[in-house]
Amino acid sequence: MTSTQRVQPADATVRAERVPSAALLHYAALLSGFGTAFLGPSLPAMTGALHLSDRGAGALLAAQFTGAFLGGWTTRTPLRRCMLRGYTAAVLGFASLAAALLSHLPAGFTLAALLLLGFGVGQIITSNNLLASLRWPRRRGAALTLLNFTWSAGALCAPLLLPSLLGRHAPAFIFAAVAALLAAGLLGTALASSDAATPVEAQQPATSAAGLSRNTFLYFCLQLFLYGGVETSLSGWLTTYDLRYTGATEAFAASTAAFWFCLTGTRAAASALLLRLPERPMLRTGLIVTICMLAALLAFGHGHLLPVLAGLTGAALAPWFPLLFSGLVGEGPTAAQAGRIVAVSGLGAAALPWLVGQVSAGTGSLREALLLPIAGTIALLFLSFRRAPALARPLENAS
């Protein structure tokens, strides 16, 4: 497959796709990042209010990311319509979560609200990345890394803002405010016209309509499943780990903030570096460093050293998703295939954090339970050597 054949998903319907403006794509990325990461910093307060054990906390994470899996799995063309549906579900989900906490409704209602908002966020993330790959086909790797920098900035807002806000305001007020911000994105996307249709159509290559082979599809599914589980296990459990092992206060658990801060900053730098450096060695180096930092975090992470190691872990993980997504799009999937593959990351994000909670409750040690993300990262490194996906090349080498 030539480089000119690897710039778009092989779905003929994308020729007529209405691509939102860059500002709307980045706004969606910002809010979906916050919507993905908000539960981790909120977990100690929510489990306390609902009187849940680590098993119950794992169920909350599982509900949110099961919804994200379903949202990504059902993403189809036209992608803009999926973006609108995702916004609508996320607005209703956050509003329902606010109502559940305000009215002290049973935990089952909270799980349903998390499932709904997870569905919406999953649709926003998947359609947003696919729309961005259409908008910037010639510099896809760098553009997606920059978009994911914005997503990470939204995720970073969760540990930076939520602990102090939850200490001063009712959670229902905060989640209602998030619903209002999402409603603004829904309105903006619904009213805005596409300003990128001509470039997308002009650069549309001739590709096979067959999409990915079965083996290639499963290869990417497995990697996204593992990555979703690893990242969410860390972002979801680091705040609890901080409180349990370092004596941090709920007002500011530094490890989660450090994780997202370094992940965000590194994605900003990686977007520029990817215009000049090869992608595959960068991906594998990041995985190796992640394994080392996670092992050090569990073995030596005490006091002020824990946020440092958490931050280095986030920095090492930063380029992974945009790089693999760039490689996925480069293989020529249909939009439905790409949506399902990204959706599988939500399934991993539901399964592995839930399993961490089960192991932690069973062994009485969250530290031992967090060996699971290390095992997942080792598996990702192994998979990166099993097959060489056609990662998009740097801009100056692209034909």
Token pair 């370094």: residue: 262
**Do 44 and 236 form a contact (C-beta atoms < 8 A)?**
no
What digits encode the pLDDT tens for the residues 244-266?
776 655 545 577 788 888 887 78
Residue 104 — left, alpha, or beta (φ > 0 → left; ψ -120 to 50 → alpha)? left
Q: Is the pLDDT of residue 290 over 80?
A: yes
The H-assigned helical ranges of the chain are 22-37, 39-50, 54-73, 79-102, 107-135, 140-168, 171-191, 197-202, 214-245, 254-273, 279-300, 305-317, 320-330, 335-363, 366-369, 371-386
> Environment class of residue 310 by beta-carbon count within 10 Å: exposed (0-12), middle (13-18) or buried (19+)?
buried
Q: Is the pLDDT of residue 202 over 50?
A: no
Q: Is the dihedral of CA 163, 167, 171, 177 positive or negative?
A: negative
Q: How many domains does the chain have?
A: 1
CATH of the domain at 217: 1.20.1250.20
pLDDT, greater one: 182 or 246 = 182
**Do 43 and 60 form a contact (C-beta atoms < 8 A)?**
yes
Angle at 154 between CA 226 and CA 318, to 5 degrees: 40
Q: Domain range for residue 201?
A: 3-397
Q: How far apart are CA 127 and CA 131, in angstroms?
A: 6
What digits encode the pLDDT tens for the residues 36-50?
888 888 877 777 767
> What's the pLDDT at 364?
87
> Environment class of residue 243 by beta-carbon count within 10 Å: exposed (0-12), middle (13-18) or buried (19+)?
middle
Q: Residue 196 has what DSSP assignment?
A: -
pTM of the model: 0.69
> How long is the chain?
399
Token pair 């399964």: residue: 351
Q: How far apart are CA 306 and CA 105, in angstroms?
A: 36
Two structure tokens written together for 96:
């329902």
What number of other Cβ atoms are within 10 A of residue 118's Cβ?
A: 31
What digits encode the pLDDT tens for the residues 17-28?
677 888 899 999
Question: Which pLDDT band, with edges at 50, 70 and 90, does 230 fall under?
Answer: very high
What digits encode the pLDDT tens for the residues 90-120?
999 999 988 887 877 777 888 999 999 999 9
